[in-house]
Structure 1
Amino acid sequence: MIYKNKAFRITMNVIMVLLTLCCILPFILLIASSFSSEADLTKYGYSFIPRGFTLAAYKYIWAIKENILRAYGMSFLITGIGTVINLVMTLLFAYPLSRKDLPGRKWISFFLFFTMLFNGGFVPTYLIYSNVFHITDTLAAMIVPYLLMNAFYVIMMRTYIMTNVPMEVIEASMIDGANEFQNLARIVVPMSKPIIGTIGLMSAIAYWNNWTNGIYFIQSRRNLYGIQNYLNSVISNVAFLQTHSVGSGIVTADLPSISIRMALAVIAIIPVLVAYPFFQKSFVAGITVGSVKG
């Protein structure tokens, strides 16, 4: 029995090491490529050790640092506002659904599940946001569509509250004169910090990585671009210069297009890498929602 347990642990450790390498190696390759010369990347391809070490890609980025910092600021603003609103709406939806005495609970749950299976489609959704709500070229266009509410987050939050917040505590609080909002603020929220941290992290990453809203809804006010949209426009501009440089007198032979993509990707993921360790404990505790009850 001891031998079998030891073999199982060794096997699982090997599997976890391999999975860890699968997560880490792409980042190493990304960083190494951002410091490689354009000629070596074109000739030899990607390598875990930089070939022809150069800072050309980062020098190009440094030249447009003001725009990058502005885009960073917009991304932090969009991510912060969107995540907070997402968490508030998720809590206000999930807490009533966790109460078995809620009138019409089954019908409300049905409509929630229905949105996970069906939606209006891209074109009708775009027309509603653009022609009815008129959010085109506004900050709301970067926050509201597709990201402000997620039925899966509501289900996660509801399940966590049902399995980890004792109903007896809420009933005792109501006997003492507390109302539902007081129960939510003083009992449910403090006892649900792991799942709140988990959903908050997932929502923040979704907002940070989102670039489709900028493509769809931002037409003229490019100053509303977040870091993802701005970096995408930089890549497009570099590709345009290289494509149309022949016969135009523009010198782009030394323009590091491949390494610029890698360097821009490094810049885009730095905030996520910095923030994740602070949320790791809550993320691990929240993602195992319902696995242990006690």
Structure 2
Amino acid sequence: MQTEMSKSGSNPFNAISPTANTIINIGFMLYTIACLLPILLIVMVSLSNEQDVLTKGYSFIPNQIDFTAYKFLFTDWQQILRSYGVTIFVTIAGTILSLIIMALYAYPISRTDFPHRKFFTFFIFFTMLFNGGLVPWYLVYVNMLNLRDNIWALVLPLLVSAFFVLVIRTFFQSTIPVAILEAAKIDGASEMLIFFRIVTPLSLPVLATVALFSTVNYWNDWFLSLVFITDDKTLSIQYLMYKMLLNIQFLASNSNAASAIAAAGGQVSFPNETVRMAMAIMGIGPIVFAYPFFQKYFVKGLTVGAVKG
């Protein structure tokens, strides 16, 4: 028995037969291709001619490369760059602040020696079940905090997620050894020093996972711009794309508006389908580059609490 284990090595995956290993690799390759094909199709359609898309449908190989959709989008390139700047600032600032606040909330309620941890745990859990409603929520940010047409109105509402707080708390409880915290306290370390010098480095998997989800939430958000922002200088890129799409659909379906535009010497035909795909590319493009920075922590962070030692 010992000889067989030494031959197979300490890695349990060495016991998998070459045939099974090949089948697994092929399965993952097919799955990866299936995930990439829709993105490739969107790119190809955005580079297609609008008339070809309407007559022949979507195709992975366009008859001719046409940048009309992107030219149409970048007609007002200054507004697009400004909205990109707003979204990038909101995403970076919001992710950093939310991660700090949620981690600082989760750490005390993960400590068994904190006398009020049950109350604060129930307090954050209660917000997952009930909320005050849309109107009181809106009045708090507009009338009390005076954040209408303010870039911080795109940051503050998404700062704290009760679910993420509980995930971080669970990781602290199940992963951080209590003996390390007690030893640091005996050596004279303060609670803040313990948190930033010991707990935080040991919690990179869960913090990176929560940071990734927060980044995606901030980047994809368009509802806050719809509710709080009326000034074009503070529009997020997602809401700007949404407004442009609605404008195109309205002009394409309204004959009176098309006649007025034609009388004024403007463009009457609009690349509706190809513009939609170009907007999707512009919306998801930058956020894709965030994934490689979190990938090595992602699986471990997602499986927190799945196995009890």
TM-score after normalising by structure 2: 0.86
Query: Is 173-182 or 239-248 further displaced after alignment?
Result: 239-248
1:112 to 115, 124, 135: 124
2:65 to 53, 76, 81: 53
Q: Partner amino acid for 2:193?
A: Q
Q: Tell me how large the CA RMSD over aligned residues is.
A: 2.3
Cα distance in 2 for residues equivalent to 1:281 and 1:5: 24
Q: CA deviation at 1:17?
A: 4.4
1:171 to 153, 165, 182: 182
Deviations 1:232-284 (A, max 9, x none): 12222323333344322425454212111111210111111112112111222
Matched-pair contact (CA < 8 Å) for 2:261–2:267: no
The residue number in structure 2 matching 1:274 is: 289
Q: Partner amino acid for 2:260?
A: S
Q: Does 1:141 align with 2:141?
A: no
Q: Partner amino acid for 1:160?
A: F
TM-score after normalising by structure 1: 0.90
Matched-pair contact (CA < 8 Å) for 1:164–1:293: no
The residue number in structure 1 matching 2:250 is: 240
Q: Partner amino acid for 1:56?
A: T
The residue number in structure 2 matching 1:217 is: 228
Unaligned runs of 5+ in 1: none
Q: Who wins on radius of gyration, i.e. which is larger?
A: 2
Q: CA deviation at 1:164?
A: 1.4
Where relative contact order (Cα < 8 A, 6+ residues apart) is larger, the structure is 1
Query: Is 190-199 or 169-178 further displaced after alignment?
Result: 190-199
1:83 to 78, 95, 99: 95
Unaligned runs of 5+ in 2: 1-14
SS in 1 for 2:146: coil
2:84 to 72, 77, 88: 72
Deviations 1:34-83 (A, max 9, x none): 01111111112222222442111122233322221111111111111111
Q: CA deviation at 1:8?
A: 6.8
Matched-pair contact (CA < 8 Å) for 2:50–2:272: yes
Cα distance in 2 for residues equivalent to 1:122 and 1:45: 41
Cα distance in 2 for residues equivalent to 1:173 and 1:133: 40
**Identity of matched residues, %:** 40
Q: CA deviation at 1:21?
A: 3.7
Cα distance in 2 for residues equivalent to 1:19 and 1:123: 44
